[in-house]
Amino acid sequence: MTTTNQSGLTSLSQFTHWIEQTDHHATHRLNLIDRVNAALSEDSLATPEERISIASQLERWRYQLLNETRVNRDNSDTNESQGAKLLAEMDYCFQRLRSSDPTNVALRSPRSPHLAIRDDDVERQAVESLQCPSRRDGPTAIRNDDVERQAVESLQCPSRRDGPTVIRDDDVNSQAVESLQCPSRRDGPTAIRNDDVERQAVESLQCPSRRDGPTAIRNDDVNSQAVESLQCPSRRDGPTVIRDDDVNSQAVESLQCPSRRDGPTVIRDDDVERQAVERARTWIDRSFPLAELEASAKRLTDQRFMTCEAADNRAKRRMVLYAPIYVSSECVNHCTYCGFRYPMQINRTHLHLDQVLDQSQILRKRGFQHQLIVAGDYPSRTSTAYFCELIEALEGQGLEIGIEIAAQSTESYAAMVSAGATGVTLYQETYDESVYESVHIRGPKSSFAWRLEAPERAAEAGFSRVGLGILLGLADPAKDFLSLVRHGFYLQHRFPNLQLAFSFPRIHEAPNDFEIPHEISDDDLVRFYCVTRMLFPQSHLVLSTREAAELRARLAHLCITQMSAGSSTSPGGYTESKGDKTNETQPRCMGEQFPVTDERSVEEVTDWLEQDGFEVRWSF
């Protein structure tokens, strides 16, 4: 954890020499460290507003460091190692600065989604090479110590005694290596799964009042249940066994101690998640029977989203309807696939408050209580103050407001929560960093790390719902999907009370000079949604009007719990209803972000849902 010495200096001060040697802005950086030290000292007179201002500057520096040195990638170089440690210390200081009581705050471990989304193939290859000593590129090619040290250095703060190293044990690791080097041992790789490790984790939580502590997360019990459920997707109690709410949250509640600074994240069961990801890898393969996945997804959705509160007192599945309000098509980003990208010669529109209220009123007359603010990224116009003004005005009318805008700072997200926003949707687009860089050429969105950590910043700022997703078609869909799954697990563990949602928009049309690299079939899309339901049974799965009515009907009956209707993807696109059943939006124009495929009116969509036995809800 972040410490202060007798002189009142935080651990950031230990990097003074390194900063002087490597940073052209060293004087400015060291001045900021002095301000951090002063704000976090026991006799500090800094106000909460001053601490938040310093925290924002520290956050900006952190992302500059991430972008400039790429310390988020594994590298044994000394400078990169120092940078990784500095990033961790920045994170701890940032948390303390934003706390109401910096001297007594429950610190989370440093942000590390870049590690969470990694494929374990590399680690698995390392294990396989250890199992076969005769391999020419065996253990020496990927020394276990190097791999583990890089992973730990990228995450931990060396001065943090209760950090990620709390259950790291050289004896345990050496036993694991020895067991792997001896393939004839009957307990082979299972030697890595060691009750000593779990017992140490339990003891480190120091919750003596819980007598049945260790048994609550017995690895054999949890893992065997998870494995059995994962091996049979059609089992009635199947994938639900690995629900975070059912298994992991019970473990957290039974073991955690409020004084433990890194809280529930310390008992994260990587084995269960790894098994879930591996099973997902099998399920998304086209050779796996889609009908089995559809049956499991439908059963799980029916179990968790049925209601008996309908007017006719019959059990019906809930379906939340929402509508996007596009408020600005102004954008400085050069995303090659997007209709709003900066070089596009389109009719740009930026709505003022009264125009947004007019659009919202039209949607409210159609029933929508949950409305989603959507905008391009033009910082001088789509500012924090602009969004807060819109959110506050709409929330003041009793509406439930979500945002789908550019990635924001923690401070900006916190301001929007204070204004009344409850949910944020932010798609990573692709988790393949090389592809991400190739399609996000210029603009604020070109920073992979800034966008990757945005859902975490939103959760830290107080948002209760966060929507994740990938833009299918940009990169290898299977790899992107598995990274999304890992990201979801990571956020669940860091924020146990966070409501996650998932969506899988496809590229159907794009600017003329963009060729879609990967075509995604309807069955592929259904497969991704069904597997997501099996891995995240409690989460909302969202479907927009990008897709055709027939496919939306198919997915609605399987696993979708939230969908848009009668949407417009251009600012000012809604018009007053004339009483017919056409989609009451402006005619298609050059100002759309993407074309709408399901052009049915709101009335037509609600009629269809109700006739098919759904209970339509207009808010959460």
Q: Choose between 516 and 124: higher pLDDT.
A: 516
- 479 vs 68, higher pLDDT: 479
533 vs 299: CA distance, rounded Å: 10
Determine the average pLDDT of the residues in 553-579. Answer: 91
pLDDT score, position 81 = 81
Q: What angle do CA 42, 47, 49 make, to 5 degrees?
A: 135
Say which amino acid occupies 337: Y
The answer to whether 304 and 537 have CB atoms below 8 angstroms apart is yes
Please give the single-letter amino acid code of residue 173: N
Confidence bin at 150 (pLDDT 50/70/90):
very low
Q: Residue range 601-617: average pLDDT?
A: 96
Identity (one letter) of the amino acid at 362? I
- For residues 587 and 207, the model is more confident at 587
Both tokens assigned to 91: 């994170």
Q: Cα(314)–Cα(332) distance, rounded to whole angstroms?
A: 51
C-alpha distances out from residue 163 to 2, 197, 410, Å: 11, 15, 23
Q: Which amino acid is at 519?
A: E
Q: What integer pLDDT is reported at residue 40 of this predicted model? A: 92
If 0-12 CB within 10 Å is exposed, 13-18 middle and 19+ buried, where does residue 521 land?
exposed
3-class SS at 372? strand
Residue 230 has pLDDT above 70, yes or no: no
Query: What are the pLDDT digits (tens) for 582-597?
Result: 455 555 455 788 889 9
pLDDT at 534 over 70: yes
- Compute how many other C-beta atoms are within 10 angstroms of the C-beta atom of residue 14: 17
> What is the pTM assigned to this prediction?
0.76
Phi, psi for residue 456 in degrees, rounded to 5:
-70, -40
Has residue 460 got a pLDDT over 90? Answer: yes
Contact in structure between 287 and 237 (CB atoms under 8 Å): no
Report the range of poorest mean pLDDT among 49-53, 252-256, 464-468. 252-256
Specify the higher pLDDT residue, 127 or 551.
551
Q: Are strands 306-307 and 316-328 parallel, antiparallel or unpaired?
A: antiparallel
Residue extents of the structural domains in the chain: 12-67+88-96, 115-268, 280-574+588-617
Q: How far is CA 576 from the centre of its chain?
A: 37
Mean pLDDT estimate for the chain? 79
Residue with tokens 């893992």: 223
pLDDT over 90 at 517, yes or no: yes
Mean pLDDT over residues 385-406, rounded?
98
Helical ranges in 70-134 per DSSP H: 78-98, 113-116, 121-131
Q: Please state the rounded mean pLDDT for residues 48-66.
A: 94
Given this model, what pLDDT does residue 123 score?
47
Task: Identify the band that residue 579 occupies on the pLDDT scale cut at 50, 70 and 90.
Answer: very low
Statement: residue 163 has pLDDT above 80: no
CATH no. for 280-574+588-617 = 3.20.20.70
Distance from C-alpha of 482 to C-alpha of 480, rounded to nearest angstrom: 6
pLDDT score of 406: 97
- 8 A C-beta contact, residue 119 and residue 277: no
345 pLDDT band, cuts 50/70/90, is confident
Two tokens, residue 460: 């830290």
Q: What is the DSSP letter of 288?
A: S
Torsion (CA) 517, 376, 553, 507 in degrees, nearest 10:
-10
CA distance 319 to 610: 10
Q: For the ranges 129-143, 326-340, 449-463, which has the lowest average pLDDT?
A: 129-143
Q: Which of 72-81, 198-207, 335-344, 544-553 shows the lowest per-residue confidence on average (mean pLDDT)?
A: 198-207
C-beta atoms surrounding 93 within 10 Å: 25
State the DSSP H helix or E strand holding residue 404, giving kind and residue range, or none if neither: strand 400-404
Long-range CB pairs of 87-90 (<8 Å, 24+ gap) are 87/62, 88/155, 88/156, 88/157, 88/160, 89/2, 89/10, 89/11, 89/12, 89/15, 89/157, 90/12, 90/58, 90/59, 90/61, 90/62, 90/65
pLDDT, tens digit, for every residue of 237-247?
433 333 344 43
Query: Helices marked H in 162-246 — which ranges?
Result: 170-181, 195-205, 213-216, 219-231
